[in-house]
């Protein structure tokens, strides 16, 4: 049995598959996940926003991960629903190293521009949704770039641009799980895949290439931040690509026609579709936080920049 440093809380549990920790964002089940990869060097993927920090630390403690145990914080990208708690987490877990694409690292050291951009998107709801993002000391960060190894040999970082240029997924080659962040889209309660395309950095062409490369990996399953672990990687890649194409075509027509209301119609349609799988109340609450009309706006901005 592996011996861990002192400071663990509770009894350590042998974990052979990743643990999905529901962060219960604003009390909503199945909205934001953090994944625990237990082992000799315990790691988590995407700690979530600062508003769910207490839930995350209590759940890590329940799995025997105390303040001296956590060794790696793997970030798929810097958006606050994925990475907002990282600075606070580094204070709680002093031996944890933060792993992120080199282009995302500066936003952790100085999150001012990132937070300002998020405020433009979410307006007055920003602080309620995400809380305060505190900086990460540069010496705690291991910036990753294509060709560089991951935290350990069996965990392989993969560039997965599309949702944002510096997006990274992590393939655990021991069991074939791909920790996909947002690169495989949003899958709620097993419903159809929804494309998360918020402004300002979505790149539809890069995303198409990413999905093609994910298909070629041969991974057994994917663990998505919003929300859960799913099989049928190839089928979900196809579904996301089709939905990205459909959304692009629809936004392109709307821009040509000057239809300013189509974004709101799209948002209502997405909510109604997913309400069939997750229930109306949960669907309303989720898309009040992550409005699909914002995804429309991201594609519209992309098309204006790339006519």
CA atoms within 13 A on the CB side of 260: 0
Q: Is 100 within a domain?
A: yes
Identify the residue whose tokens are 């991201």.
298
Rounded Cα distance, 198 and 296, in Å: 7
Q: Is 103 within a domain?
A: yes
Peptide bond preceding 134 in cis form (omega within 30 of 0): no
pTM: 0.92
Using alpha carbons, select from 290, 224, 201, 183 the residue that is nearest to residue 35.
Answer: 224
- Which of 133-137, 285-289, 301-305 is the least confident region? 285-289
| Helical H segments across the chain, by residue range | 53-62, 80-83, 86-92, 105-109, 112-122, 126-130, 204-217, 233-257, 262-278, 280-289, 292-305
What is the gyration radius of the CA atoms in the chain, in angstroms? 19
The larger pLDDT score, comparing residue 157 to residue 13, is at 157
What is the residue-averaged pLDDT of the chain? 92
pLDDT digits (tens, 9 = 90+) for 29-62: 999 999 999 888 999 999 999 999 999 999 999 9
Q: Which domain holds residue 46?
A: 19-242
SS3 89: helix
The DSSP symbol for 293 reads H
The percentage of residues in the chain with a pLDDT greater than 90, rounded to a whole number, is 86
Q: What is the pLDDT of residue 8?
A: 37
pLDDT at 1 over 70: no
pLDDT at 151 over 70: yes
Q: Is 134 within a domain?
A: yes
pLDDT at 20 over 50: yes
Helices 292-305, 233-257: inter-axial angle, 10-degree rounding: 70
Rounded Cα distance, 267 and 255, in Å: 16
SS3 170: strand
Q: Is 256 within a domain?
A: no
Domain harbouring 192, CATH code: 3.60.15.10
Using alpha carbons, select from 204, 277, 271, 301 the residue that is nearest to residue 244.
Answer: 204
Q: What is the pLDDT of residue 16?
A: 54
pLDDT digits (tens, 9 = 90+) for 152-197: 888 999 999 999 999 999 999 999 999 999 999 999 999 999 999 9
Q: In the chain, how many domains are there?
A: 1
List the end-to-end C-alpha distance of the chain, in Å, as a whole number: 58
Q: Is 213 within a domain?
A: yes
Q: Is 7 within a domain?
A: no
What six digits make up the tokens of 32?
């934001």
Q: Is 156 within a domain?
A: yes
Q: What is the pLDDT of residue 260?
A: 77
pLDDT digits (tens, 9 = 90+) for 73-126: 999 999 999 999 999 999 999 999 999 999 999 999 999 999 998 998 888 889
Q: Is 74 within a domain?
A: yes
């Amino acid at each position: 049995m592996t011996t861990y440093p002192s400071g663990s809380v509770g009894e350590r549990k042998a974990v052979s598959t990743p643990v999905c920790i529901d962060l219960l964002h604003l009390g909503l089940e199945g909205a934001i996940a953090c994944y625990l990869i237990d082992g000799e060097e315990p790691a988590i993927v995407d700690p979530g926003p600062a508003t769910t920090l207490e839930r995350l630390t209590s759940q890590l403690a329940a799995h025997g991960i105390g303040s001296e145990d956590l060794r790696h914080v793997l970030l798929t990208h810097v958006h606050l629903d994925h990475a907002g708690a990282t600075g606070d987490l580094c204070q709680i877990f002093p031996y944890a190293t933060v792993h992120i694409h080199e282009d995302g690292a500066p936003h952790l050291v100085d999150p001012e521009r990132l937070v300002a951009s998020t405020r433009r998107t979410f307006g007055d709801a920003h602080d309620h949704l995400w809380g305060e993002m505190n900086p990460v000391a540069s010496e705690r960060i291991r910036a990753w770039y294509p060709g560089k190894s991951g935290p350990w040999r069996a965990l392989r970082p993969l560039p997965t641009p599309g949702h944002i240029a510096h997006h990274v997924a992590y393939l655990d080659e021991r069991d074939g799980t791909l920790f996909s962040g947002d690169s495989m889209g949003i899958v709620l309660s097993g419903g159809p895949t929804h494309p998360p395309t918020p402004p300002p950095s979505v790149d539809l062409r890069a995303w198409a290439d990413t999905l093609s490369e994910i298909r070629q990996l041969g991974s057994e399953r994917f663990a998505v931040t919003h929300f859960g672990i799913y099989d049928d990687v190839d089928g979900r890649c196809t579904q996301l690509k089709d939905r990205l194409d459909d959304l692009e075509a629809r936004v392109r027509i709307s821009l040509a026609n000057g239809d300013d209301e189509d974004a709101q119609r799209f948002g209502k349609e997405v909510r109604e579709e997913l309400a069939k799988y997750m229930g109306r109340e949960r669907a309303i609450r989720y898309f009040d936080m992550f409005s699909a009309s914002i995804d429309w706006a991201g594609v519209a901005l992309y098309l204006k920049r790339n006519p």
